[in-house]
Amino acid sequence: MIETLYAGALLCLFFYLALILKKELHMLQLNSYFNTRYIKWYKQNLRARCDIIKALAVLSGILSACWDGWLFPAAGILFPVAGAVALLKQKAKKKLDFTKRAVRLFTLSLLLPAVALAVTFAATQDIRPALLLLAALTACSFPLMLLANTLIRPLETLINRWYINDAKKKMKHCPDLTVVAVTGSYGKTSVKHFLQNILSERYNVLITPGSFNTTLGVVRTVREQLQPLHEIFIVEMGAKKAGDVAEICRIVRPEYGVITAIGAQHLETFGTVENVKKAKLEIISALPATGKGFINAAGIALGDLPADAKAPVVSFGVEEDADYCARNITYTARGMAFDVYCGGEKLLTLETALLGEHNITNLLACCAVALTLGLEKYQIEKAVKGIRAVAHRLEVKPLPNGITVIDDAFNSNPVGSKMALEALKRIDGKRKIIITPGMIELGAEEAERNYAFGQAIARNCDIAVLVGAHRTQPVREGVLSAGFPEGNLMVCKNLAEANNYVKSIMQPGDVVLYENDLPDTFNE
């Protein structure tokens, strides 16, 4: 009987460890599999990682191995089962993506303790030393995942190199394919989708799906989706460090390149906005002399262009001195309307259901590219009229109960947040309500930028709901410094609590803006 309890405790604790490692893998994946980012996240979330059930499960395993009797191994079954149930009940905003890489890493993370347990049992012929070791490994799940990620890295490097080379070969077999690269601190996903809508009026277009804007995301798109029938390939290129954009360009060899905007984003890795600009300009360096670059006049001057740039470059923006600029901008009940000018000549009159000045800039970039690629003016005007907001990017959703929701959950930068607040102020409605956890990845400027964000909230909103007391402290201080009524400011523990609060106070005619929604790694 007692041996059965020991065996049950060992199996239950191993199953619990497997679920813990799955959660560790999820957090590592959200940190892009970088050990340095994973360690930093761990240090910043030590308090949130304190788990009493896990501590009791580990303690019961240790006591079971050190003292005789049935009580401790029984507890060694109870607490791991309770912990496993709790983990299985947890819901993530963005679920773990069990890619081939994730499966390999998860398998190795389970194999390491399994081998250690087998060796221990074989050497001692006693289940209790194995149970003691398993308890220690459960307590050390974080370094165990770090170890597995470190050990598997050489294999992942070889696999990634093979994937990249395979994608390059496939690109070489598409000599007639025109590649349009899109990068920028913000707006690149919107421009990608808007371009797809417009260029599809004439061409067969492929875009990188979702947020596949990393090297491996682009490689995966090429290997799995690119077909001979495609004429245009629009590639979104993200960057968290210098060289990221250049690496993707070497794979897809773009002929046209768009830089949507330059702003304060990913400053934790770039350090300064100037470094961000240099990284985005890698796309201009990659263009051939037969191609063309398109830059946002608000963030880049022609004098900023790299010395090795070969292709001609034109600018776009609402500024009068941009090559492609917008005039006669009007807001209507159905969205916006404006004229597109180039060199003093009126080229297009556009009507769109989109909101915000930043979307005018995005559409100007798309019009410049479309005209360069030979689309007729009527094709562009027709396509723009049918464009709707990209999901979670200033997406307006009228609800049957008279409430209007502006979903800008995939936005986390100062300029985009400012534009969202301006759109909230302009849209018809009674009370203007914002739900936000603030902005992240702004490095040393994060507190200052969030303080200014809070002041902007005070100028544009009637009710402010902040998510995460610790993280939103600078936002709260900024809101109150601008004379915002403290009774109209609510700080909630998580998004679910914020939603419940807003539901309890909503009235017909209210407009609710969701500005940014952080991944599970930022839960307080």
Query: Residues 356, 437: one domain?
Result: no
Neighbouring C-alpha atoms within 13 Å toward the C-beta of 111: 11
Query: Residues 507, 379: one domain?
Result: no
- Could you read off the pLDDT tens digit of each residue along the chain, which spans 524 residues? 567 787 888 899 999 999 999 999 999 998 889 898 889 888 877 766 677 888 888 888 888 777 776 677 788 888 888 988 988 888 877 788 898 999 999 999 999 999 999 999 899 888 888 888 999 999 999 999 999 999 999 999 999 999 999 999 999 999 899 999 999 888 888 899 999 999 999 999 999 997 788 999 999 999 999 999 999 999 999 887 888 999 999 999 999 999 998 866 655 666 677 777 888 899 999 999 999 999 998 878 777 888 899 999 999 998 778 999 999 988 765 778 999 999 889 999 999 988 778 889 999 999 999 999 999 999 999 999 999 876 777 777 788 888 888 888 776 677 778 878 887 887 778 899 999 988 877 777 788 889 999 999 999 999 999 998 888 899 999 999 999 999 999 999 888 889 899 999 888 989 999 988 765 555 55
Number of folded domains in the chain?
3
Query: Residues 452, 326: one domain?
Result: no
> If we measure between CA atoms, which residue out of 418, 407, 406 comes closest to residue 455?
418
Q: Specify if 163 maps to a domain.
A: no
Query: Residues 301, 449: one domain?
Result: no
Query: Residues 149, 190: one domain?
Result: no
Q: Specify if 126 maps to a domain.
A: yes
Query: Residues 142, 231: one domain?
Result: no
Query: Residues 314, 361: one domain?
Result: yes
Query: Residues 143, 64: one domain?
Result: yes
Q: Specify if 165 maps to a domain.
A: no
**What is the token pair recorded at 376?**
């007729």
Q: Specify if 161 maps to a domain.
A: no
Query: Residues 47, 181: one domain?
Result: no
**Structural domain boundaries, residue 228:** 174-386
Query: Residues 239, 370: one domain?
Result: yes
Polymer length of the chain: 524
Query: Residues 337, 436: one domain?
Result: no
Task: Report how far apart, in Å, the C-alpha atoms of 171 and of each of 166, 186, 226, 287, 502 are.
Answer: 9, 27, 9, 16, 50
Q: Specify if 160 maps to a domain.
A: no
Q: Specify if 162 maps to a domain.
A: no
pTM over 0.85: no
Query: Residues 377, 449: one domain?
Result: no
Out of 342, 359, 386, pick the residue that ends a domain. 386
> If we measure between CA atoms, which residue out of 417, 474, 421 comes closest to residue 445?
474
Dihedral, 40, 237, 249, 228 alpha carbons, nearest 10: 130
**What is the token pair recorded at 434?**
């914002």
Which residues, including other chains, have CB under 8 Å from residue 36's CB and lie 6 or more apart?
none
d(CA 298, CA 326): 13
d(CA 309, CA 363): 25
CATH value at residue 413: 3.90.190.20
Q: Specify if 164 maps to a domain.
A: no
Out of 366, 386, 406, pick the residue that ends a domain. 386
> If we measure between CA atoms, which residue out of 475, 232, 238, 221 comes closest to residue 373?
232
Task: Report how far apart, in Å, the C-alpha atoms of 125 and of each of 1, 122, 129, 130, 133 are.
Answer: 18, 5, 9, 9, 14
CATH value at residue 357: 3.40.1190.10
Out of 321, 354, 386, pick the residue that ends a domain. 386
Q: Specify if 472 maps to a domain.
A: yes
